């Protein structure tokens, strides 16, 4: 039970923004690596080719962070996320946890892992398979619509093409015209969010960064689970 001198604390948006910046940096590194291999005419996996077509536009992530940043009550905003938004949110805060775990590895272990990975042959990547029904992300819808317009605006052909690339979306012919109706609205949102994504800067921690990141991750997960966060205020002399 909370005592009278306790107060409810509201977590900041800083941790979530940092996670978005980490994700952007990760995507930038992967894109540079793929482009370098392509420039050297080295083999690139089918998965990397598909990823490269839609990389660099964290539209759904940016839209989510912007909405949370603008919310008057961050705790309530996170608690009221829909299923798709919760998935994006969990993906973002997972980047903080991954970042902390990487920092804890010693340099020798990192070097050994890198050397081992270079000496191993790349395992052929299997094409995507259906695991569970998912809601299409905004960048995926734009990718489907772009392909539709570039390839003769054939709905059946479009559905068949992306049934292999995005099996979890269960894209069928009746879905394509439904998306076309909202295309203009989606493209405006996509353009705006893509521009904002380029302005995201990584936040630097100057004191105990690992502890700060772990606390931000814990707070974010607690908010998602609907927990009430309280902290005891220091006693002040009267």
Structure-model confidence comparison of residues 107 and 179, the more confident one: 179
For residue range 10-59, list pLDDT tens digits in order. Answer: 446 887 888 788 888 888 888 888 888 888 888 888 777 777 776 556 78
SS3 215: helix
For residue range 137-166, list pLDDT tens digits in order. Answer: 888 888 888 888 888 888 888 888 888 788
> What's the N-to-C CA distance of the chain in angstroms?
25
Average pLDDT of the residues in 57-81: 85
Could you state, in order of their start, the residue ranges of all structural domains in the chain?
A: 6-119+128-232
Query: Both tokens of residue 113?
Result: 């892992």
pLDDT score, position 118: 56
CA 234, distance to chain mean position in Å, is 37
Nearest C-alpha neighbor of 158 from the set 213, 105, 150:
150
Bridge partners, residue 7, by sequence: 231
pTM over 0.85: no
C-alpha dist (Å) from residue 98 to 72, 89, 213: 29, 15, 10
């Amino acid at each position: 039970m909370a005592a009278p001198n306790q107060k409810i604390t509201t977590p900041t948006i800083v941790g979530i923004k940092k996670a978005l910046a980490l994700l952007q940096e990760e995507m930038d590194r992967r894109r540079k690596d793929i482009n370098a291999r392509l420039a050297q005419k080295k083999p690139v996996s089918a998965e990397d080719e598909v990823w490269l077509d839609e990389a660099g536009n964290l539209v759904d992530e940016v839209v989510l962070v912007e909405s949370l940043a603008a919310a008057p009550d961050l705790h309530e905003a996170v608690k009221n996320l829909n299923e798709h938004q919760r998935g994006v949110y969990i993906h973002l805060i997972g980047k903080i946890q991954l970042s902390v775990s990487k920092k804890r590895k010693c340099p020798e272990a990192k070097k050994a892992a890198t050397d081992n990975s270079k000496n191993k042959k790349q395992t052929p990547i299997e094409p995507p398979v259906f695991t569970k029904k998912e809601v299409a992300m905004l960048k995926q819808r734009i990718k489907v619509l772009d392909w539709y317009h570039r390839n003769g605006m054939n709905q059946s052909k479009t559905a068949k093409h992306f049934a292999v690339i995005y099996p979890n979306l269960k894209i069928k012919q009746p879905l394509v015209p439904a998306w076309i109706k909202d295309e203009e609205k989606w493209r405006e949102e996509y353009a705006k969010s893509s521009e904002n994504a380029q302005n995201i800067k990584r936040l630097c921690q100057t004191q105990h960064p690992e502890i700060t990141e772990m606390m931000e991750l814990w707070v974010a997960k607690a908010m998602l689970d609907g927990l009430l966060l309280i902290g005891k205020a220091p006693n002040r002399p009267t």
